[in-house]
Amino acid sequence: MVVSKHGIVASEHPLASQAGAMILADGGHAVDAAIAANAVMGLVCPMMCGIGGDLFAIIWERDGTPQGINASGWAPAGLTPRFLKSRNLDSMPQSGVHSVTVPGAVAGWALLLERFGRKSFADVLAAAIQMAEEGFPVAEITAQEWSNREAFLREDAPAASTFLPSGRAVQLGEIFQNRDLAASYRRIAADGRDGFYEGEVARRLVDCIARRGGAMVDADLSEFKAEWVQPISTTYRGWDVLEIPPNGAGIAALMMLNILEQFPLAEAGHNSVEALHAMIEAKKVAYADMQRYVADPRFADVPVDAMLAKAFARGRARSIDRSTSSAAISPAELPAHAGDTAYLSVVDGDGHMVSFIQSNFASFGSGLVPEGTGFPLQNRGALFTLDAAHPNVLASRKRPLHTIIPAFMHKADVRIAFGIMGGWNQSQAHAQFVSNVVDHRMNIQEALEAPRFTKLTFDGRDVMVERRVPESVRAGLSARGHEVEVAGDFTTSVGGGQAVMRNLTTGVNYGASDPRKDGAAVPEPVTRR
């Protein structure tokens, strides 16, 4: 772990962490540092995140209470099942123009700075603007992810000209400049939220959609607002664990933990057959219920209290066969009435903490880049359904079910801001991280590095585990009916995480960064202010 009396920024790229740490050294709040780091992440990892995507965050002031922000964008007013049917589409497109929802990130930045910021937009975007203009050397994992999407980027001319500057993906160590993104950031630095949702950037975005036959219009952007939300929580063996409420999927992590309290994971041993079997099956149960009930609460009555009830979890735990893998899980009956991501966390020297996640959803999102803007548009609309009976059905100005989730956990004088990216991997990875800390007494770096499993499908007995899970354990899971796929020692398929921790009594901060990403936990440099 990184250990410091001063602030720490943990992100998926050292340049992003460094930008945030420098803001802290200049007297910035943890929120200022998070936005500075996020802006750099949108430059150095453009496939993962950027101002064409959404964000969520949980902020905990030193002497305050946790507050959440939901900056997930809505569907254009004209993007409806009827509209898609008129285009001969009977399911939600997974990329392209009809998968694009309004980007929420900049609205989230504005809301965060308005309440907590000590710095201006110009201050927090300065490092990203300079790097975008001067260029930066592309890192290892980022280069691989870029190369993987080369053919996809060729499908859109502005995307190819922006992200394939020499006619191919940028490679390890090559310098990449994005002056278009620098220009977009300058407009935001000058005009704040309006520099994105109105004016030149907005015009280019709407033109991009219109030329491809999409439904987005000026008002879909100008009328969008991010919102403050109250985090939801549960307890796990004496720790409080917090997630963002629906339309986010973080409730699945809390449901998993409630179920896992019924199993003696500490006694079973870390990544034992018994422990992994319980966690994999708990994942199936929690995700079945999440997929059935979670939607935009402005359109559907999501039964959050019922889903998080301990008695409900005990009943769901009893449905798990402790000796055999299940092929399919049906969601429970509840009283309901109606991809690729970047995570970062910050703690500052005063003890303010931010758990912050931002995403394009799939790698390079929809694959569309508004001409001259330097960023891809997300494909978050892909997570809607066209099933009219489902609460997550596509509708005008509705937000889809969201996979990206920031998290917090705390007990006594210890607070931990953490997150692990990776589409449907996230909730199950959160539960594994919490169990590592609570059941197996790992520090936050150990808890991130420990071997993980992931099951990215909802039905079936398939599960992926990292090769560091012992062969005897893998054989034991197979004997229980799990169809085990073995991945590399540290595979990005199980996501990459970051974490910061503060001991309130000593005032000491700790940072951790997952080796599955290019990132680093960087301490605030000690300077004379």
- Banded pLDDT at 459 (limits 50, 70, 90): confident
Which amino acid makes up residue 443? N
Answer whether residue 76 is part of any domain.
yes
pLDDT at residue 330, rounded to an integer: 81
Give, for 60, the enclosing helix (H) or strand (E). strand 54-60
Give the Cα separation of 80 and 322 in Å (integer). Answer: 44
Per DSSP, the residues of 375-435 read -PPP-GGGG-B--TTSTTB--TTPPPPB----EEEEETTEEEEEEE-STTHHHHHHHHHHH
Question: Is 193 contained in some domain?
Answer: yes
Range of the structural domain that residue 444 is part of:
1-244+342-529
Sign of CA dihedral 244, 245, 249, 252: positive
Instruction: Work out how many domains the chain is built from and give that number.
Output: 1
Q: Which CATH number fits the domain that encloses residue 171? A: 3.60.20.40
If we measure between CA atoms, which residue out of 242, 254, 327 comes closest to residue 290? 254
The reported pTM is 0.95
Residue 257 within any structural domain of the chain: no
Average the pLDDT over 147-163 and give the result. Answer: 96
Q: What confidence score (pLDDT) does residue 338 get?
A: 31
DSSP 57: E
What does DSSP assign to residue 180? H
Query: Would 265 be classed as within a structural domain?
Result: no
d(CA 454, CA 466): 9
Using an 8 Å Cβ cutoff, are 40 and 15 in contact?
Answer: yes
Q: How many Å apart are CA 358 and CA 349, to the nearest integer?
A: 24
- For residues 353 and 361, is the Cβ–Cβ distance under 8 A? no
- When pLDDT is averaged across residues 130-137 and rounded to a whole number, the result is 98
Average pLDDT for residues 491-511, to the nearest whole number? Answer: 96
Angle at CA of residue 224, ends 223 and 226, nearest 5°: 140
Of 406, 404, 421, which is closest to residue 516 (Cα–Cα)?
421
| Per-residue model confidence as pLDDT tens digits over 170-194 | 999 999 999 999 999 999 999 999 9
Buried b (16+ CB within 10 A) or exposed e, 196-225: bbeeebbebbbebbeeeebbbeeebbeebe
Identify residue 167 by its one-letter amino acid code: G
pLDDT above 80: residue 527: no
Tokens 């439904």 sit on residue: 215
What are all long-range contacts of 302-306, with beta carbons under 8 Å and residues at least 24 apart? 302/246, 302/336, 302/391, 303/334, 303/335, 303/336, 303/337, 304/232, 304/245, 304/246, 304/251, 306/334, 306/335
Residue 97: band (very low, low, confident or very high) from pLDDT cuts 50, 70, 90: very high
Q: Would the pLDDT of 479 be above 80?
A: yes
Q: For residue 407, is it within any domain?
A: yes
Which pLDDT tens digit goes with each residue over 192-227?
Answer: 999 999 999 999 999 999 999 999 999 999 999 999
Digit-coded pLDDT (tens) for 64-86: 899 999 999 999 999 999 999 99
Spot the catalytic one: 101, 234, 341, 385.
341
- Going from the C-alpha of 27 to that of each of 38, 114, 288, 488, the distances in angstroms are 18, 16, 45, 41
The pLDDT tens digits of the residues spanning 320-370 come to: 999 999 988 887 765 533 356 899 999 999 999 999 999 999 999 999 999
Residue 228 has pLDDT above 70, yes or no: yes
Mean pLDDT calculated for residue range 138-148? 95
User: What's the pLDDT score for residue 337?
Assistant: 33
Residue 204 included in any domain = yes
* Span 309-328, average pLDDT: 93
pLDDT in tens, 256-280: 999 999 999 999 999 999 999 999 9
Task: Tell me whether residue 65 is one of the annotated catalytic residues.
Answer: no
SS (H, E, C) 233-254: EEEECCEEEEECCCCECCHHHH
Write down how long the chain is: 529
Cα–Cα distance between 233 and 505 in angstroms, integer?
Answer: 24
Would you say residue 330 lies in a domain? no
User: Tell me, what's the pLDDT at 341?
Assistant: 83
- The pLDDT value recorded for residue 145 is 93
pLDDT for the residue numbered 12: 95
Q: Which residues of 437-472 are buried (b: 16+ CB within 10 A; e: fewer)?
A: bbbbebebbebbbbbbbbbeeeeebebbbbeebeee
More confident residue, 346 or 423: 346
On whether the CB atoms of residues 69 and 98 are closer than 8 A, the answer is no
SS3 500: strand
344 contacts 34 by C-beta, under 8 angstroms = yes
Q: Region 400-404: what's the mean pLDDT?
A: 92
Q: If pLDDT is split at 50, 70 and 90, which confidence band does 434 have?
A: very high
Residue 9 located in a structural domain: yes
Q: What is the mean pLDDT of the chain?
A: 95
User: What is the three-class DSSP state of 361?
Assistant: strand
Phi then psi dihedrals of residue 313, to 5 deg? -65, -40
Q: Please name the residue ranges forming H helices in 178-247.
A: 179-191, 194-197, 199-211, 218-222
